[in-house]
A and B are shown apart, each in its own frame.
Chain A
C-alpha cells in the first residue's frame, strides 16, 4: 500500500516551481474540456475532484505553477506521481486541464469556516 506524506508531495511540487522557471504562458485552455480530461485521465484519483489534494497527491487547485510549469512537471514528476507522456495526454490537453484548475476558486479563510475555526 502506498503511503505518501502530504508534506513530501507539496515539497516536490514547490521544488518543481523552482526547478522549472515560469516561462510565458501558452494560449489559454478550455476549462470545461479541462474538467472532462481531469476526470477521464484519472487526475482526480490522487488530487481530488476539486484539486484539493490528498495523502496521495498534492493540492493543485488553484495551481501554484503556471501552465508550462505544470506540463513540465506532469512529464517528469517527482515523488510517486506517474509520468504522463505526450502519448497519453498532449500539451494542448494539459493546457485545458490547467485552465480548469485555474477556474477553481480559492477557499474561504479558515476563520470564516466555523467547523474549522473551532478546531484551532
Chain B
C-alpha cells in the first residue's frame, strides 16, 4: 500500500508539472497535437490540407494480401457441379489455387483429393475407376511436366475408350511468371502434347469461359466413344480474386449428357434378318458392354439366337460359365456380329508369325460369310496414333454405340423368329453347350499340369484365389493376358464388375494404379478387389502402393513375379533364333533378377500389409487367407508370389 501511495504522490506532482509545461507548449504546438487535444476536449478536429489530400487521392499502389473469393473457388463450384467423387493429383504449383479451393472451400469432398506420387498413377487410377463406376475421375496436373508424366496413361485410356478428365495448370500470361521454374512449367498450348489422343480440349481465358468449357468437356467425354478430355485452368484465373463486376453474374451452366448414338433402324433390321437366318452365327464382343445393361442385353441376344459369344476380353461382356461363352469358330461362321471390336481385322485374319520371315495374311472367315460391325469408333477417329488397327472389310457397317443398339436389335430379331428357327436354334444350342462342357474339362485337365510346381503355376495361383473368393462379392481389377487367362478359364464371371479388361494401348505401368482406382470405386459397394500384378508393371511407379495405403483402399494384390519383362524376353528369344545365335542370352536387358526385387518389403515400405516371397504352392492358401482378412478390414495387402512365366 505504501508503494502505491508513493507512486500516487509522484504521479500528482508529475501531472501538475506536466500541465504547466503543456500549457506553455500549447501556444506553438503542431496541428495534429492541437487536433488531438481538441478531440480529447470533445471538439471534432478539422483535417489538415495534407490529411485531406491523403484521404481523397487514390494511392499509387495498394498492397492487397487477401481475398474472400479467389477465382479458383468458382472453378471448384464448377468442378463440384459435375459430380466428381475424387480428384487425383500429384501436387503442382500451377494448380495450387484450385488445390487449395478444393480442400478448403470445397471441404475436400466430392471431390476428395487423392495424393498420388506420379501423374501416370493419377490418370491410370482414373482409368480403372471409370471402368467400374461408369463415370470419370478428375485429375489435376502441371500443364508441362505433369502432363508429360501422365501422357502414356492418357493414351491407354484413349485406346481403351474410357473417359478421364484432366485439368492442367498453366501461366499463360508471361508477365505473371515469377521464376525460372514458372517459365519452365508454362506452355503456349498445354494440350497439344496429348491432342492426338484426347477427344477435346480448351484453354479458357475467363472464369465464365472456364465454366462453359468445363461442362462441355464432361459432356463430350461421356458421349460414346468415350475418351479423355483436357481443360487448362490458368493459374492467374485461379489465384486472382473474382472480378467485382463478375461476382453477381458468374454461373455454372447445366450439364445435359447426350444419349448414346444407337444404330440406324434400317441397318439394325437388316442385321437382325441376317442373324436370324444364319446357320452358324457368331458374336465377337470387344468393348460391347459399357455398363451392366450391356452385359444383360448381350446375354439376351445370344440366348435368343443361341449364338456363341467369343469375348475379346476388353470388358466383362459375357458370363464365362455360360454355355454360349467362347464357343463357335470364326472359320465356320456364316454370319459374324462384331460389337465394338477395335481389332476386328486381327480377329478375322491371320498373319505370318514372328518366327518366320516375310509377311502374308490370310482371311480366317469362310467364303460367303457375312460380317456385321456395330462400332462407335466409326463416328470418331484420329489418325496419328494407330490404335485403330487395320481396315476391316465388313458387309454391314453400323456406326453406333453397340450397347445402345442392342435393345433394338433384340426386338427386331424377336419379330423374325419362327417356330422352325427356334427349333434350329435349340439344336445349335445343345451342341454348343456340349462343346463348352468339353472345353471346361480340358481347361481343368490342363490346369492340373505343373499344379504343384515351383515356381508356382498361374493355374495354381488362380485356383487358390478362387477357393477363397468364391463365397465373396469380388472384383478382378486386373488384366489376365499374361496369366494365360486362368482366372477367366476357371472362375465364374457373371457380374459386370467381375472384370474390367486391360490397358487399352498396352502401355505397361497401367496395372498397379488402375487396380487401385478400380478398387476405390468398388470400396463403397463392399467388394473385394483382386489385382494379379505383373512385376514389370509395378516398377514403373510403385508409389501407388502408398496411395492405396494412405487412402485405405482395400485391394488384394497378388504378384505375378516371374522376374522378367517376359513378353520382351520371348521376343528377343525369337530374334536370337532367327539369327541362330545367342539363344541363351535373351535375358540380357529383359530379366528382373540379380538381385531379385523383394515386393513384400517394397509394400511394407509403403505402409501396406504384405507377405512373401512365396515359392511353395502349399504356402499360398494360408497367405491368401491372412491377406484377405486385412482387405476385409478395409486396407490393401500384397502377396509376393514367385510364378511361372505365363
> A residues bordering B, Cβ < 8 Å?
1-3, 6, 40-42, 44-46, 48-57, 59, 61, 77, 79-85, 87-89, 107-110, 113, 115-116, 118-120
| Contact indicator B581/A88 (Cβ below 8 Å) | yes
| Contact indicator B484/A54 (Cβ below 8 Å) | yes
Alpha-carbon distance between A54 and B428 when the two chains are bound, in angstroms = 30
Q: How far is the CB of B80 from chain A (nearest CB, A)?
A: 41
> B residues bordering A, Cβ < 8 Å?
353-355, 440, 444-451, 453, 455, 457-460, 463-464, 466-467, 481, 484-485, 490, 506, 566-567, 569-571, 573-574, 576-578, 580-581, 583-584, 586, 644-646
Q: How far is the CB of A41 from chain B (nearest CB, A)?
A: 5
With A1-B567, A42-B586, A81-B355: A53-B455 Cβ-Cβ less than 8 Å:
no
Q: Among A3, A42, A107, which residue has its beta carbon within 8 angstroms of that of B448?
A: A107
A113 CB contacts on chain B under 8 angstroms: 448, 451
Question: Could you list 19 examples of A-B contacts with CB < 8 Å?
Answer: A3-B481, A6-B484, A42-B583, A45-B586, A48-B646, A50-B450, A51-B449, A52-B446, A52-B644, A55-B485, A56-B484, A80-B353, A107-B448, A108-B451, A115-B463, A115-B464, A115-B467, A116-B444, A119-B490
Q: How far is the CB of A18 from chain B (nearest CB, A)?
A: 19
Q: Which residue of A lies closest to B346 (CB)?
A: A3
B457 CB contacts on chain A under 8 angstroms: 48, 50, 52
| Contact indicator B645/A48 (Cβ below 8 Å) | yes
With A54-B644, A81-B355: A42-B444 Cβ-Cβ less than 8 Å:
no
Please list the 10 inter-chain residue pairs (A to B) with the smallest Cβ-Cβ separation, ordered nearest first: A52-B450, A54-B646, A82-B577, A80-B353, A52-B449, A50-B450, A107-B448, A115-B463, A55-B484, A50-B453
| Contact indicator A120/B444 (Cβ below 8 Å) | yes
With A45-B573, A80-B353, A84-B577: A119-B444 Cβ-Cβ less than 8 Å:
yes
B577 CB contacts on chain A under 8 angstroms: 82-85, 88
A49 CB contacts on chain B under 8 angstroms: 450, 453, 455, 644-645
B450 CB contacts on chain A under 8 angstroms: 48-52, 61, 107
| Contact indicator B481/A1 (Cβ below 8 Å) | yes
Alpha-carbon distance between A48 and B528 when the two chains are bound, in angstroms = 30
Alpha-carbon distance between A81 and B444 when the two chains are bound, in angstroms = 24
Q: Which residue of A lies closest to B571 (CB)?
A: A2
Q: Which residue of B lies closest to A56 (CB)?
A: B646
Alpha-carbon distance between A88 and B585 when the two chains are bound, in angstroms = 12
Q: How far is the CB of A24 from chain B (nearest CB, A)?
A: 28
Q: Which residue of B lies closest to A110 (CB)?
A: B444
Q: How far is the CB of A75 from chain B (nearest CB, A)?
A: 11
A50 CB contacts on chain B under 8 angstroms: 449-450, 453, 457, 644
Alpha-carbon distance between A108 and B464 when the two chains are bound, in angstroms = 17
| Contact indicator B566/A45 (Cβ below 8 Å) | yes
Alpha-carbon distance between A48 and B448 when the two chains are bound, in angstroms = 13
Q: Which residue of A lies closest to B582 (CB)?
A: A88
| Contact indicator A107/B449 (Cβ below 8 Å) | yes
Q: Which residue of B lies closest to A52 (CB)?
A: B450
| Contact indicator B449/A61 (Cβ below 8 Å) | yes
